[in-house]
């Protein structure tokens, strides 16, 4: 059976629907940076998703090509994630004004995938799909200490869950630490094309400090 990151690392992908503290280690991702309303069907965000999955699946299928990745094992491509922010509002996202949002869309890479493997995947996907993947980058990131919670429901209702998270950290002696480097983080466990809005599951994670 293929290795599934959501099942093997439940502490990162399957938190309860009440806030908890977690220390997130350094992880590698394929990522694309952009701006704009994520709900715009013809916007930049929607276009990044297809590019990310194209590279993610090229890497996953590499063991069936001439490119052999050292340490490869069968795995399920991890879920889509995203860092989000708005200029001048690092700690608070205005959900009623999404046109000025900035993001880093990303998918986690298995630890055995190197920068060289990533570069090969970019070249391979560009050649086979005849598309430009120059905006896709290899991103290493260590989140550190964070508060997280499972949010169930519409993305527009996230402020309710975020409020619970912020109240929780105050109670236990932490404070929010969102800045230019440490950002609002979402992990999408549901496909909005196949799931009712009320059942969408999203992990929300915020950086904190004592």
Q: Is the pTM of this model over 0.75?
A: yes
**Domain coverage including residue 63:** 3-209
What CATH number is attached to the domain comprising 28? Answer: 3.20.80.10
- Output the 3-class SS for the chain: CCEEHHHHCHHHHCCCCCCEEEEEEEEEEEEEEEECCCCCCCCHHHHHHHHHHHHHHHHHCHHHCCCCCCCCCCEECCCEEEEEEECCCCCCCCCCCHHHEEEEEEEECCCCCCHHHHHHHHHHHHHHHCCCCCCCEEEEEEEEEEEEEEEECCHHHHHHHHHHHHHHHHHCCCEECCCCCCCEEEEECCCCCCCCHHHCEEEEEEEEEC
The pLDDT of residue 201 is 98
Our count of domains for the chain comes to 1
Query: pLDDT per residue over 60-104, tens digit each?
Result: 999 887 788 899 999 999 999 999 999 866 667 888 889 999 999
Query: pLDDT per residue over 29-69, tens digit each?
Result: 999 999 999 999 999 999 999 999 999 999 999 988 778 88
């Amino acid at each position: 059976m293929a290795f599934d990151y959501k099942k093997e690392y439940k502490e990162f992908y399957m938190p309860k629907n009440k806030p908890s503290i977690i220390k997130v280690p350094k992880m590698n991702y394929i990522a694309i940076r952009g701006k704009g309303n994520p709900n715009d069907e013809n916007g930049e965000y929607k276009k990044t998703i297809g590019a990310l999955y194209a590279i993610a699946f090229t890497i996953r299928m590499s063991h069936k090509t001439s490119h052999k990745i050292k340490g490869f094992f069968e795995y399920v491509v991890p879920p889509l994630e995203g860092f989000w922010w708005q200029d001048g509002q690092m700690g608070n996202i205005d959900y009623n004004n999404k046109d000025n949002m900035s993001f880093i869309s990303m998918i986690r890479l298995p630890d055995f995938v190197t920068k060289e493997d990533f570069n090969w995947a970019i070249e391979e996907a560009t050649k086979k799909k005849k598309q430009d993947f120059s905006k896709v980058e290899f991103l290493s990131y260590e989140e550190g200490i964070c508060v997280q919670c499972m949010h169930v429901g519409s993305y527009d209702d996230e402020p309710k869950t975020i409020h619970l998270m912020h109240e929780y950290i105050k109670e236990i002696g932490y404070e929010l630490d969102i800045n230019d480097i440490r950002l609002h983080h979402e992990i999408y466990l549901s496909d909005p094309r196949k799931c009712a809005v009320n059942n969408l599951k999203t992990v929300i994670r915020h950086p904190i400090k004592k």
